[in-house]
Amino acid sequence: MPVIEIVTELDCPAPTPVRFAAPTGGASGDWVLRHEGSGARHPAQPDGDGVVAMLPKLTPGKHRFQLEQGSAGGRVSLKEESPTEIGIHLPEGHFTTYRFAAETARPYFYPVHGPGGKRVTRDYPMQDIEAEKAAKDQDHPHHRSFWTAYDETNGVNNWAETAGKHGWTRHVRFEAREQGPAFAGFTAFSNWLTPDQAKPFVDERRRIRVYNAGPAHRLLDYDVQLIATYEDVEYGDTKEGGILAWRVFYLMKEAHGGRMENSDGLVGEKLCWGKRASWLDYSGMAQDELQGVAMMDHPGNLNHPCRWHTRAYGLVGANPFATNAFEPQAPKTPFHQKKGTTLNFRYRVMIHRGNAHQAHVDAAYHAWVQPPRVVIT
């Protein structure tokens, strides 16, 4: 079996996935990376012509592992919970469920569990929870936990859920499903439709991959393609949108003592709202434990770093299109996409214990965009 040398220029403070070429003859079944020093085993699995392995926390330097067939224990799996619900389960338990029923305005993930099974997204409008009602946290019924949407797309409001007036995102099919010891996920293809649901105007391909990052973290990659299949597309200069959108658990929101912080060290809605940043972290009490959700914008994304539509009442939206909506003195700058082209967006989400500083979110972001180098010997 080959020796895998991992060369890290930066500190990797949390478990990190890394991809490298499959060994000669291909890869199949379960694999592990065994650390040559400690003997610790870390999950790996085939991924096309390569292998994806989960690295432990690493300091800068060279680290040697053996790639071997076998099991490190535990798997990430998909479970069909109903004809319109796909659950994603970690070794520690249920992580989230993708919900795509036709009567829902657009697909979304709910609930989302952080470390220890703590809720990190709001229950409303999926459930009527008395504590949320008492906290006056039943506003904006279109803020469904974790989702993708955008207003003013060719004049269609595919963000809100105003009866008879909003657009729809209709699930069409799953193009891929994958599961194993290192990760699980799927690729879903959907149409963005006019309010009468008669005409598609954008196609969407969404890939989620959830990693086996251990009990202290939840780690996922969230890639979205917006495809101008039918016509030129204009994305309006509006704050109302998030290609990655999140509504945190009601006790986590800033209005209840939570904390939002971005990659420039700015803290709070007044300083973070509408500002460009490579990442934004929202932390607070996830039930009875301090946890945070770090949302990261990849440097390859359009208009990186994106602006963040982030609110004290618990909303976060990664908005790559708006300028004037956040800076009224700037000219309106809608984005125009030519027919036949594709916009690609990549995000990483890390759910962690503590706040952004305690979880070393900035180091985790840089470990994502400047990943460890792999040398196979």
Q: What is the pTM assigned to this prediction? A: 0.96
**163: confidence class by pLDDT, cuts 50, 70, 90:** confident
What confidence tens digit (pLDDT) does each residue in 265-308 have?
Answer: 999 999 999 999 999 999 999 999 999 999 999 999 999 999 99
Residue 40 sits in the same domain as residue 89: no
195 and 252 housed in the same domain: yes
Are 97 and 62 within one domain? Answer: no
- 318-328 pLDDT, tens digit per residue, is 999 999 999 99
Residue ranges making up the domain that contains 250: 77-369
> Mean per-residue pLDDT for 322-337?
96
In order of 9, 100, 179, 263, the CA distances from 316 in angstroms are 31, 21, 29, 15
pLDDT in tens, 340-372: 999 999 999 999 999 999 999 999 999 999 999
CB atoms within 10 A of CB 318: 28
Q: Answer yes or no: do 84 and 126 share one domain.
A: yes
Considering the domain architecture, whether residues 221 and 341 belong to the same structural domain is answered as yes
pLDDT class for 124, splitting at 50, 70, 90?
very high
Do 101 and 34 sit in the same domain of this protein?
no
**How much is the pLDDT for 30?**
86
In angstroms, the CA 115 to CA 130 distance is 24
- How many domains, in total, are found in the chain? 2
Q: Characterize the bridge pairing of strands 335-337 and 233-235.
A: antiparallel
Question: Would you state the pLDDT for residue 55?
Answer: 94
Residue 40 and residue 94 in one domain:
no
In this structure, the answer to whether residues 20 and 134 fall within a common structural domain is no
What is the per-residue pLDDT across 226-243, written as a single tens digit (0 to 9) for each? Answer: 999 999 999 999 999 999
Tokens of 183: 């990760």
Residues 342 and 355 in one domain: yes
In the predicted model, what is the mean pLDDT of the chain?
Answer: 95
pLDDT recorded at residue 115:
98
Are residues 131 and 265 located together in one domain of the fold? yes
CA dihedral 271, 273, 275, 279 (to 10 degrees): 100
Helices (H), 118-265: 130-134
| 48 shares its domain with 152 | no
What pLDDT, in 10s, does the model give residues 27-78?
667 899 999 989 999 999 999 999 999 999 999 999 999 999 888 889 999 9
Q: Determine the length of the chain.
A: 377
Question: Are residues 175 and 38 both part of a single domain?
Answer: no
In terms of Cα–Cα distance, which of 237, 257, 262 is closest to 316?
262
- pLDDT tens by residue, 302-315: 999 999 999 999 99
Q: What's the CATH number where 262 sits?
A: 2.70.98
